[in-house]
Structure 1
Amino acid sequence: MIQFTPESYDALVDHAERGVPEEICGLLEGTREDGTAQVTAIHPIENVATHRETRYTLEPEAQLAVMEAIEGKGTDVVGFYHSHPTGPPHPSATDEAQATWAGYSYVIVSLSGRPFVGSWEWTGEKFEQELVSVGRD
């Protein structure tokens, strides 16, 4: 399960909507315990993919800097996010082929129609869908 604070959820959807027609991407900050990722902040990172309307690549130096800053605060990187401006509301074949961080959440904001936020944990071999919730314990 992945749980967003209301502020982090709203920031995520807002970032995706402002990025249209391109995919946006970034890191999720929070904690993970007892199988639940608690997202307390999102960190937008520039998408440097060649075809940003249908692909994403986090800018490597910014990704590393954000990861170090998160760890320096004593929190964790719990996952990654990107958008699908025209769908689908699930990981694409490209998303699966490029996933590398086992045990992390991969959040997708689909904007084909009303915004849909889904999350999948990468097992190292495949994506397993996670329940997404918004709120506080």
Structure 2
Amino acid sequence: MENSRLRPEDLEAMDRQAEEEFPHECCGLVLGKPGDPSKNEVRPCRNIQEEMRQRDPEAFQRGADTGYFMDPKDLHEAFKEAAKKGLEVVGFYHSHPDHGAYWSEEDHKAAMWGDEPSYPDAFQVVISVMRGKVAQRTLFLWNPEARRFTPGGTGE
């Protein structure tokens, strides 16, 4: 994992959440100051994918084992806290239960607003959880030349 962006305790918090929420995907964000990981705050969000699927199965065809939808209440609280502390969103994370730490087409769609990333300067961490244990992490960064998120570290 790119050491200039995340501290060991940040990774531990993400891993713990990923293992606790297995076999469902976990999700969350990292608040902080760009270039200063000492200010990072990992903010877990509740995955309400199953609730969304029950409300609108046509729009939300995946379950929480293969998809996530961050609880808007959790996001709202995180954004309020960030504004109060002078922080910003520096990253997002989610897990892939029993799958690799790759950037999927669904991940790409979720990170984009039209043809542009919603948070172009934020990193994206995907955590592979195999049989309930973290197996790998990959950090992805927006690559404007390639027009996609590309790997920026393995976490090893």
Fold shared per TM-score above 0.5: yes
**TM-score, with length taken from structure 1:** 0.83
Specify the code of the residue in structure 1 equivalent to 2:137.
V
Specify the code of the residue in structure 2 equivalent to 1:105.
F
- The residue that corresponds to 2:148 in the other structure is 126
- The residue that corresponds to 2:79 in the other structure is 67
Q: Is 2:97 the counterpart of 1:97?
A: no
Specify the code of the residue in structure 2 equivalent to 1:115.
A
| Kept in 1: contact 2:32–2:88 (CA 8 A) | yes
Supply the RMSD in Å over aligned alpha carbons.
2.2
Q: CA–CA distance in 1 between the matches of 2:155 and 2:65?
A: 27
What is the SS of the residue equivalent to 1:111?
Answer: strand
Q: CA–CA distance in 1 between the matches of 2:30 and 2:102?
A: 18
Q: CA–CA distance in 2 between the matches of 1:109 and 1:64?
A: 24
**TM-score, with length taken from structure 2:** 0.74
* Long gaps (5+) in structure 2: 51-62, 113-117
Specify the code of the residue in structure 2 equivalent to 1:109.
I
Q: CA–CA distance in 2 between the matches of 1:19 and 1:4?
A: 21
Q: CA–CA distance in 2 between the matches of 1:15 and 1:98?
A: 20
Q: CA–CA distance in 1 between the matches of 2:151 and 2:33?
A: 19
- The residue that corresponds to 2:6 in the other structure is 4
* Long gaps (5+) in structure 1: none
Specify the code of the residue in structure 1 equivalent to 2:16.
D
Q: CA–CA distance in 1 between the matches of 2:32 and 2:79?
A: 12
Q: CA–CA distance in 1 between the matches of 2:6 and 2:136?
A: 14
Over the matched positions of the two proteins, sequence identity in percent amounts to: 26
Q: Which has the larger radius of gyration?
A: 2
Q: CA–CA distance in 2 between the matches of 1:66 and 1:73?
A: 11
In the TM superposition, residue 133 of structure 1 has moved relative to its aligned partner by: 6.1
| 1:23-55 CA distance string (max 9 Å, x none) | 00011122213xxx7372211111011310000
Q: Is 2:38 the counterpart of 1:18?
A: no
What is the SS of the residue equivalent to 2:91?
Answer: strand
In the TM superposition, residue 92 of structure 1 has moved relative to its aligned partner by: 1.1
Highest relative contact order (Cα 8 Å, sep 6+), 1 or 2? 1
In the TM superposition, residue 93 of structure 1 has moved relative to its aligned partner by: 1.3
What is the SS of the residue equivalent to 1:9?
Answer: helix
